[in-house]
Amino acid sequence: MKPRTSSGVELKTALAALAISALWGGNVVALKVGLGTFPPFWSAFWRMLCGLPVLALWARILGAPLKPAKGEWKWLIVLGTVFAVQISILNFGVNFTSAAYAVVLMNSNPIFTNLVAHFFVPGDKLSRIRALGLTIAFAGICFAYLGEPDARLASRPLLGNALATLTAMVFGMRMVFTQRLIQRIEPLRVIFWQIAFSTPCFLVAGALLEEPLRGPLHAAPVVAILYQGVIVAGGCFVVWVKLLRKTPPGVLSVFAFPTPIFGVIASAFIFSEKLAPELMVSVLAVAAGILVVTLEASRRRPTESKVEADIPAAIR
């Protein structure tokens, strides 16, 4: 008999899901490393350019058609535009604040996803338990603003924190829109084209507004870009989809809630970042609130569509 967790999930599946959560948490930290050499728009461009071949290869292996059908183009272009805006805000936010603060604020996105879904998705109204979880997570966001990011890593902390929070808001709106699209469009095609449409946007913005490099080119920023593009945008998505084949998405998504915790740990390790008590309270509150929301949703919708669980791997 294969070892299982208390939730009935195979142990190796749980460990794989936690590993992906840790990789997601490291995404913002890698972004901060890359920003030392690549300006925000160029950083986004190289990340997306690295991720596209992985997704295209995975689509070929699965036999999933990437060519949009008639009537899909306009919605995919809209999604790609919103995606480009969200990633741009994220990159500038991380540029101005520390990775630890950015990862906590960015990963508060379930708050805004649930709020948008409450008003725009039929049958997805907030329950009292979910409202409690969102309140706890939102309190964590507010508490983060009381702390001071490490001055070495945050040139304009208040602006950076505000942009990271705004990223979470746009992410929440985009998630709901993506969930609606994916009901009628192949999920892999949705993810591939939102990245494909945004890539030239970043290239044009970078060419017009930024220098290609802002610092010396060496191994660390290159590895950081490859991490974001190949491992997170490509590899994590592939593994997550494989896990979904044998695990209900509502159950699997529970293992994603520690993402901000992993991100804070990674930032402290990579940058030797001093973590203020306010940030530690914030990350615990955000993670706890997300866990409450996720567990409630898992119990309420045990047979839900795979949308909520499979998209985040490619778009964080």
Following DSSP, what letter does each residue of 161-211 receive, concatenated? HHHHHHHHHHHHHHHHHHHHHTTTS-HHHHHHHHHHHHHHHHHHHHHHHS-
Residue 219 counted as domain residue: yes
Residue that is written with structure tokens 């946007």 in the block: 201
pLDDT given at position 31: 96
- What are the backbone dihedrals phi and psi of residue 4, each rounded to the nearest 5 degrees, phi first? -130, 155
Task: Report the C-alpha gap between 45 and 27 in whole angstroms.
Answer: 15
Q: Is residue 4 part of a domain?
A: no
Q: Please, which contacts does 240-243 make with residues 24 or more away whose CB atoms are closer than 8 Å?
A: 240/17, 240/20, 240/309, 240/310, 240/312, 240/313, 241/310, 243/13, 243/16, 243/17
Instruction: Specify the number of domains making up the chain.
Output: 1
pLDDT at 295 over 70: yes
Tokens read off for 312:
């985040």
Mean pLDDT value of segment 150-161 = 92
Higher pLDDT, 185 or 297: 185
Residue 82 has pLDDT above 90, yes or no: yes
Query: In terms of pLDDT, which residue wins out, 98 or 184?
Result: 98
Predicted pLDDT of residue 26: 93
pLDDT band, residue 224 (cuts 50/70/90): very high
Q: Is residue 67 assigned to a domain?
A: yes
As a whole number, the mean pLDDT across the chain is 85
Find the mean pLDDT for residues 270-290: 88
Whether 277 is covered by a domain: the verdict is yes
For residue 182, the enclosing domain spans 11-315
Structural domain contains residue 6? no
Compute CA 168 distance to the chain's CA centroid, rounded to the nearest angstrom: 9
Instruction: Please state, in angstroms and rounded to a whole number, the distance separating the CA atoms of residues 260 and 106.
Output: 8
Band of pLDDT at residue 184, cut at 50, 70 and 90:
confident
Note whether residue 205 is domain-resident. Answer: yes
Q: Is the pTM of this model over 0.75?
A: yes
